[in-house]
Structure 1
Amino acid sequence: MFGTLSEETEVMVPASKAWALYGTLELAKLVTGKVVEAVEVVEGDGGDGSGSSCLVKLTLEYDVKEEFAANASLVTNRNLLGIMSVANEHLLKSN
């Protein structure tokens, strides 16, 4: 059973500044040990946006073996929310 969970939040910093955190291993350094055990960057090349704020969307993809499909309800977006919270706080403090 394949599924996804996504969260989106507005960050009150320019997209280029948000990407400097989210698009690099700096995000992993920031949240490792606080919210998650490890972060793996799968894809993304970034690109500068414009304006004084931007939207950040994180997606969690999961695949549960059919024999464990009843456990799919245990998948949570808690870590995504934690990552966004820690990252947004960091971005606002360093603005």
Structure 2
Amino acid sequence: MAGQVSHELEVDVAASQVWEIYGGLRLAQLVQQQLSNLLEDYQVIQGDGGVGTVLKLTFVPGLPYRVAKEKFTKVDDEKRVKETEIIEGGFLELGFTLYRVRLEIIEKTQVSCIIKSTIEYHVNEDAAANASLVSIQPFADIALTVKNSLLSAIPK
């Protein structure tokens, strides 16, 4: 069984500024600092934020899993697209064979863009009920946190 969910958030900040956070390791830092209800800790296992980077993510208690390793499989600075896949733990422990997140920063104007987050997944038929655990909400919360962080940094 396969599925996909997406979320879009418009941000009145230049796409290049948003990509500075999303394009590398700054996103994990921001999430750990500002969304303590989601991510307890992260460690860079390998890499510097480019393709092949592997992060060990430790989530807060109460989620269906505690630890996952994700690998950056695509980082396109020109198109502002980053894709990550869970390679160990996380949803893979729940019968999923693929859990991929695509983060896109889509330029609208010179001073506005859209943060588009997409989860694509495949789950074994015998674990199909676990597909209901897939939620785009954490990525909506992350996008809003990035937006608010960037907007608060702009002098008024």
> In the comparison of the two structures, how many residue pairs are matched?
95
Deviation at 1:40, TM superposition (A): 4.8
- Contact residue 4 and residue 60 of structure 1 kept, 8 A: yes
Stretches of structure 2 that go unaligned for 5 or more consecutive residues are 41-56, 58-69, 81-106
Stretches of structure 1 that go unaligned for 5 or more consecutive residues are none
Please, what TM-score do these two structures have when normalized by structure 2?
0.53
Distance in 2 (CA, whole Å) between partners of 1:42 and 1:91 is 26
Identical amino acids, percent of aligned pairs = 39
- Is 32-41 or 71-80 further displaced after alignment? 32-41
Question: 1 or 2, which has the higher helix percentage?
Answer: 1
Q: Give the root-mean-square deviation of aligned CA atoms.
A: 2.2
What's the CA shift string for 1:32-76, capped at 9, x where partnerless? 362345365331222385511011111112221110112312321
What is the 5 A alignment of 1:3-82?
A: 3-32=3-32, 34=35, 35-36=38-39, 38=57, 40-47=71-78, 51-82=110-141
Structure 1 runs (4+) greater than 4 angstroms displaced? none
Aligned to 1:2: 2
**Aligned partner of residue 56 in structure 1, secondary structure:** strand
- Contact residue 15 and residue 53 of structure 1 kept, 8 A: yes
Which structure is higher in RCO with an 8 Å CA cutoff and minimum separation 6?
1
Deviation at 1:85, TM superposition (A): 1.5
Aligned to 1:91: 150
Please, what TM-score do these two structures have when normalized by structure 1?
0.82
- Contact residue 4 and residue 121 of structure 2 kept, 8 A: yes
Q: Of the two, which has the highest radius of gyration? A: 2
